[in-house]
Amino acid sequence: MPATPAIDKLDDILAFSENFLEKMHEMGQSPHSRKSLQRLFSPSEAAEMVGRDRTTLARAEAELGVAPPVRNPDNNRRVGYTLDQIQAFRAHFKTLPHRDATQDRPMVIACQNFKGGVGKSTTCINFAHYLALKGYRVLVIDTDSQATTTSMFGYVPDAEIKQDDTILAYLGGAHSTLAPVVRRTYFPGIDLIPACLALYEAEIALVLHIAEQTSPEARREVFAELRYGIQTVADEYDVVLLDSPPALGVISLNVLIAADALVVPTAAKMFDFSSTVQFFRMIRTYVAQLAPEKSYRWISVLTTLFDQRYDSQRQFVDVMRACFGESVFQRVFFHAAEVINASAQFVGPYEQIKPNRKVLEMMDGVFGEIELAILREWPSKRAELNARGII
């Protein structure tokens, strides 16, 4: 039997696989034509999120024009508020956690490691959800051509997202600011600059562009372009999250130079640890060459995919803490089937209608530690942290 031509075989594979992806996206959006946040928050949850009691929120409904929560026909209890309604309450009672624009700079944080499969995009997506639920204003910039983050926000890369919808529109000079490619998402508080396969193809063009520069200074400037672009929109946000490609190319080096802080997801395994050490060695080399004056507020390893059933992983967490010292978060991101299954359905744990509370508690602990690292960088939050006994 003659071999099937490669092009024909790939056409067959793509036809079936792309059809499957479209159906999975439709499931994540159903019954809506565009993905929406379906989770509601009980009056008790809303009261805790806003910082006021349930009675106070109920009294404020009429004043703010907030529709009362729908009642359960079986027991007449209030079902819950939407995140938009909770944000309205926060604005009314002045309990939004926004940074003080007169004192605090927006924090640009990169989720970066050049090893794939360590939960980089998962960390970025779920941390964005966590921050938005807390009331922060978040911009997510997907710079990974695999576009996992873009998919989780309800878009089909390449079908819906083209080159001019990504950071390439700015890097290529089509726009003088990133603002035209920023889009609102279904998740209140989160904006997105999406990605698509064109980011991978653009790497070669960017390399050629660097080669055309006539001086070392001009070549270094190419690696700072994303930083300049972020500065054109960052004032609208509290936190900017960058999902980086799992490789050290021109775009990922732009991410490295643009970031104020690095979260480095790493599994508690020897190969992943070794890869992360190589990652640190390489970024040290590149930063020394491209931006020797560069500083980070912090660089911290986040232990991911941790399975406490294995003694080897528990022991390796201790090894990582001993080696990385203060540059590793104390909380670990446990390996959870709910997180994996949620990603497969394009619906994260924080947005599920009936979320797994144990999983949310685990993620709240992980992301709460990163949030605290951010708050420590904002002068306006010092009094609040001191009142909580946090230095």
Report the distance separating Cα 391 and Cα 373, nearest Å: 11
Residue 117 has pLDDT above 90, yes or no: no
Q: Residue 7: pLDDT above 60?
A: no
**Residue-wise pLDDT tens digits, 210-236:** 888 888 888 888 899 999 999 999 999
Is the pLDDT assigned to residue 289 strictly greater than 80?
A: yes
- pLDDT for the residue 32: 45
pLDDT at 28 over 70: no
Task: List, as one string, the DSSP characters of 45-106.
Answer: HHHHHHTS-HHHHHHHHHHHTPPPPPBPTTT--B--B-HHHHHHHHHHHT------TTT-PP
| Lowest model confidence (mean pLDDT) among 24-38, 115-129, 149-163, 249-263 | 24-38
Whole-number pLDDT of residue 167? 96
Longest CA span, the chain:
77
Would you give the distance in Å from CA 204 to the centre of its chain?
Answer: 26
Do 85 and 66 touch, CB atoms closer than 8 A? Answer: yes
Delimit the domains of the chain by residue range: 43-93, 107-387
Answer yes or no: is pLDDT of 342 > 90. no
99 vs 26, residue with greater confidence: 99
Residue range 23-29: mean pLDDT, rounded? 57
Q: Measured between alpha carbons, how far is 156 from 152 in angstroms, rounded to an integer?
A: 9
Per the document, the length of the chain is: 391
β-pairing, 183-184 vs 190-193, is antiparallel
Q: If you average pLDDT over every residue of the chain, what do you get?
A: 87
User: What percent of the chain stands above pLDDT 90?
Assistant: 53
pLDDT band at residue 31, thresholds of 50, 70 and 90?
very low
In this prediction, residue 158 has a pLDDT band, given cuts at 50, 70 and 90, of confident
- State residue 108's pLDDT score: 98
Q: Is omega for the bond preceding 292 within 30 degrees of 0, making it cis?
A: no
pLDDT-derived band at 16 (thresholds 50, 70, 90) equals low
Range from 29-38, 46-55, 144-153, 360-369 carrying the lowest mean pLDDT: 29-38
Residue 68 has pLDDT above 50, yes or no: yes
Q: What are the phi and psi torsion angles at 367 (to 5°)?
A: -75, -25
Class of domain 107-387: alpha beta
pLDDT tens digit string along 309-334? 777 788 878 888 888 888 899 998 88
Span 125-145, mean pLDDT? 97
Q: Which residue blocks in 259-356 are alpha helix, DSSP H? A: 270-290, 311-324, 337-344
Predicted pLDDT of residue 307: 79
pLDDT value of residue 296: 92
